[in-house]
A and B are shown apart, each in its own frame.
Chain A
Amino acid sequence: MSSATTDAAISATPDDGVVRAADGTPLKKSLARALRREKTRSFLLIAPLLLFILISFIAPIADMLFRSVENNIVEDTIPRTVEALKEWDPDSDELPSEDVFAALHADLEIAVKQRIHTRLGSRLNYEASGMSGLFRKTGRSVRRMDEGNYREQFIEADEDWGELETWRVIRRFSAPYTAGYFLNAVDAERTSEGIELKPENERIYLTLFNRTLVMSLAITLSCLLLGFPIAYLLAHLSLRTSNMLLILVLLPFWTSLLVRTSAWKVLLQQQGVINDFLVWIGLIDDANRLVMINNQTGTIIAMTHILLPFMILPLFSVMKTISPSYVRAAKSLGANDWTAFWRVYFPQTIPGIGAGAILVFILSIGYYITPELVGGTSGIFISNRIAYHISSSLNWGLAAALGTILLALVMLLFYVYDKIVGIDNVKLG
């Protein structure tokens, strides 16, 4: 009896072709209902972390990225002037009309009362030097101005108001969004002839981006050269010994980054341990001590040391999974030690090399503390410049633009790597 009902329920394929569960509801719906509880529970489990990441990580980054194009300050501070300036043709050889000066007076009176006119001055100063002083100076005299004939009074207060370039800058940057920060970040500027690169001796960011990339590559390469033999050794020793050595590899993680970097200062400086030793064994002359710190050499040496574990660990975990029978098979087939290594062992370590190289490269491209401490002027990275704009020059827009470019660059390299090597070829363990 009961088996007959079961058969009927299973074999009842209705006319509409929908597979149904025993109680007649469509099977898909029934399955979704059964899984919903599970899905809700797992979502609730990750919800706190998700929220934390959203609030403390995603939102600030999005805000920072937005700052790289945001330019509300001009419109917010001098709204009437911005409106009035729309009538003016910046390519004409005439100053804006009296209306514009009147609007500027009205705007500035309010701005001075709220003490926000100097902020606008600093903002515009990023684009053309002298603007900060212009606004500060004008701010002092704007209250004493009489009604009418504002143009002359403004030019009297500061003769820059009589310059066409001043007005062009204000007009150019009156839009709520600007590409100015990004142009600045790649050493370009918008002149009356359009966008062009700054003179060669003023290009700092391109040089810094270039240097950051080249040095990060050098660091990745030296990490690979130093890390590969160590990982190989670790993967081929007995478990006891390799665990011991692995602790030594991890040991630096338990020491402060600052301490490790400072140790390199002691070692590398001209009166330091290495130079003293080289002089003592007579390899170099006391007068010609090597300059190994506060330059690129210092940064590369110290960062290679600090990032080495990130290369060794993925390499080690990949090498550990390579069965020794592959190399044995290669030898039994007639390959000598080198051929067996190069043709059979090495290609199988590429996922580990990829993982380690990506890790080290991405970490080093955004590295800050070590280049700051041992880099001097020639060994600093783009991140040091970003930090400078965040905390010293307070040009957050430019810092955000530099950061955005760095992020885009990393993602681009990631994409290129995916195209060449394949991201599924990366194995961390």
Chain B
Amino acid sequence: MSENRGAAVRYESVQKSYDGETLVVKNLNLDIARGEFLTMLGPSGSGKTTCLMMLAGFEPATHGEIFLNDRPINNVPPHKRGIGMVFQNYALFPHMTVAENLAFPLQVRGISKADQSSRVQRALDMVELGTFGSRRPAQLSGGQQQRVAVARALVFDPELVLMDEPLGALDKQLREQMQYEIKHIHENLGVTIVYVTHDQTEALTMSDRVAVFNDGVIQQLSTPDALYESPQNSFVAQFIGENNKLNGTVTSVEGTTCGVEVGTGIHLKADPVNISGVGSKTTLSLRPERVELQPEAPMENMVDGHIEELIYLGDHIRVRMNVAGNDEFVVKVRNRGQRRKIAEGETVKIGWAASDCKALDAVA
């Protein structure tokens, strides 16, 4: 297994259309490495679930080819692909007990009865539900059902496991706990996991790499930190984490910085990531925690901000202010205790470094 350096999954110019008029997935090319945890992240209708369903075999690709271990699988029916799958609502068979649910994939593979029960028990122990084998799914809590679904997808030792928004039905606390459990299972077993979600926190916490989908196209494919620190376009900047937008025009480009005029007469310095040259429109992206309120030393960008609203959140204070005509500009101020009091209605100086401010494609 480790000798073969080929990708576990490869999408090659895959397209998908349901109605023959619009493309839900537009020319997808993606390699997923063996043992990788890859998350497809995007808003609903972005094509991420369709990509997963094509891989599982429930939707045929309209064009292109999907490879599993370098073997084309377009004509392989789902039950012969050997891919484990965890569904959005778990899809545990309600008329079978937990143990029967887990034994199902082993039965259809003709594994002996004794082998079945030992493997079922091992899988149940793995998700810490060792004593729940004789219960029906309806007698379990949401979190327990979720674990059974994970155990069932893993019990027949697939090399690839697909998860379609598996934590969507759980409450926040349980969701966070399950994120860690799935991550640990992934680390322990070394399986390849393709995970679909619309929850960016989930994507950032668990994944090796994240593919951000929008409009049937992968907008950016990179590690979680790169996704947050250096978004490649405005959609990714806006979708991942909190983001301040400032629309402007590029006035100069000098190496790793560019000058941008925002509003009337406010000149800012930014990191030119995705601009088409001097004179073009751009949208600046700036994380709220990278802005300094009343900086002691002078910074590359210094502007005036009019404080509109203060929201106290314990560990930090959200300051909503009007900067260069944008009154949705948010600054997060860490709660350090001995800071100078600020009040709504004041106008204060704010500043940030040019490298924290990304000049991206213009959006309205």
> Which chain A residues have a beta carbon within 8 Å of chain B's beta carbons?
323, 325-326, 328-337, 339-340, 343-344, 347-348
Contact of A335 among B89, B108, B153 (CB under 8 A): B108
Which residues 3-28 of B sit at the A interface, judged by CB distance below 8 A?
none
What is the bound-complex CA distance between A326 and B89, given in angstroms? 10
Q: Are B85 and A339 in contact (CB under 8 A)?
A: no
Which one of B57, B94, B109 contacts A348 once the chains associate, using CB atoms below 8 Å?
Answer: B94
- B77 cross-chain contacts in A, Cβ below 8 A: 331, 336
Task: Given A331-B78, A334-B109, verify A343-B104 contact (CB < 8 Å).
Answer: yes
Q: Report the nearest B residue to A322, measured CB to CB.
A: B94
Residues of A within 8 A of B162 (CB): 332
Report the bound CA distance from A323 to B78 in whole Å.
18
Q: Which of A332, A339, A344, A347 has the most CB of B within 10 A?
A: A332
Residues in B lying within 8 Å of A, measured CB to CB: 56-58, 77-85, 87-89, 91, 93-95, 104-105, 108-109, 152-153, 156, 162
Asked if B79 and A326 make an inter-chain contact with CB atoms under 8 angstroms apart, the answer reads no
A332 touches B78 (CB 8 A): yes
Docked Cα-Cα span, A119 to B178, in Å, equals: 84
- B108 near A344 (CB under 8 angstroms)? no
Q: Is the CB of B79 within 8 A of A332?
A: yes
| Contact yes or no, B84 A332, CB < 8 A | yes
10 pairs, A vs B, C-beta closer than 8 Å: A325-B89, A328-B56, A328-B58, A328-B85, A328-B91, A329-B87, A333-B84, A333-B104, A334-B80, A334-B109
Given the known A-B contacts A334-B82, A334-B156, A335-B79, are A326 and B108 also in contact in the complex, defined by CB atoms under 8 Å?
Answer: no
Classify the interface of chain A: helix, strand, loop or mixed.
helix
Across the A-B interface, the 8 shortest Cβ-Cβ residue pairs = A333-B105, A329-B91, A332-B85, A325-B91, A331-B78, A347-B95, A331-B79, A335-B108
Distance A78 CA – B104 CA, assembled complex (angstroms): 77
Q: Once the chains bind, are A326 and B93 in contact (CB under 8 Å)? A: yes
Whether the pair B87, A328 counts as a contact (CB closer than 8 A) is yes
Give the distance in Å from the alpha carbon of A349 to the alpha carbon of B28 in the complex.
39
Pairwise interchain contact B88-A325, C-beta atoms closer than 8 A: yes
B105 near A326: Cβ-Cβ < 8 Å: no
Give chain B residues whose Cβ lies under 8 Å from the Cβ of A344: 93
In whole Å, how far is A331's beta carbon from the nearest beta carbon of chain B? 4
* Interfacial chain A residues near B82, Cβ < 8 Å: 334
Cα separation A340 to B87 with both chains bound (whole Å): 16
Q: How many A-B residue pairs have CB under 8 A?
A: 66
**Among candidates A323, A339, A348, residue contacting B108 with C-beta atoms closer than 8 Å:** A339
The smallest C-beta distance from B64 to any residue of chain A, in angstroms, reads 21
* Known pairs A323-B89, A325-B89; A336 contacts B95 (CB<8 A): no
A92 vs B104: C-alpha distance when bound (angstroms): 77
Contact with B105, one of A323, A325, A334, A336 (Cβ below 8 angstroms): A334
Cα distance A325–B81 in the bound complex, in angstroms? 17
Can you add 7 more A-B contacts, CB < 8 Å, to A334-B105, A335-B104, A336-B79? A323-B89, A325-B87, A329-B93, A331-B78, A332-B153, A334-B108, A339-B108
Residues of A contacting B78 in the complex (Cβ-Cβ under 8 angstroms): 328, 331-332
Does B79 contact A334, Cβ atoms closer than 8 Å?
A: yes
Partner of B85, one of A329, A336, A348: A329
Contact of B83 with A330 in the complex, beta carbons under 8 Å: no
Q: Complex Cα distance A347/B95, Å?
A: 7
**Chain B residues in 8 Å Cβ range of A332:** 56-57, 78-79, 81, 83-85, 153, 162
B residues within 8 A CB of A328? 56, 58, 78, 85, 87, 91
Task: Report the Cα distance A333→B79, complex, angstroms.
Answer: 7
Contacts of B58 in A (CB 8 A): 328, 331
- Least Cβ distance of B174 to chain A in Å? 21
Pick the most buried of A330, A334, A340: most chain B CB atoms within 10 A of its CB: A334
Asked whether A326 lies within 8 Å of B91 as measured between CB atoms, the reply is yes
A5 to B109, CA, bound (A): 71
- Contacts A329-B85, A333-B152 given; indicate if A323 touches B91 (C-beta within 8 A): yes
- From A336, which residue of chain B is reached at the shortest CB distance? B79
Distance between Cα atoms of A323 and B164 in the complex (Å): 15
In the bound complex, residues from chain B placing their C-beta under 8 Å from that of A339 are 108
What's the Cα separation between A335 and B57 when bound, in Å?
A: 13
A340 and chain B: residue at smallest CB distance: B79
Q: How far is the CA of A286 from the CA of B85 in the complex (A)?
A: 62
Query: In the complex the two chains form, what is the Cα distance from A337 to B108 in whole Å?
Result: 12
Q: Which residues of A contact B91 (CB under 8 A)?
A: 323, 325-326, 328-329
CB distance from A43 to the nearest CB of B (A): 35
Chain B residues near A348: list those with CB within 8 A.
Answer: 94-95
- A343 partner residues in chain B, CB cutoff 8 A: 104
Residues of A with C-beta under 8 A to B153: 332-333
A55 CA / B101 CA spacing, docked (Å): 53
Residues from chain B with a CB closer than 8 A to the CB of A325 are 87-89, 91
* CB–CB B108/A333 < 8 A: yes
- Of all chain B residues, the one with the shortest Cβ separation from A332 is B85
| A348 CA to B91 CA, complexed, in Å | 12
Are A330 and B104 in contact, with the CB atoms below 8 A? Answer: yes
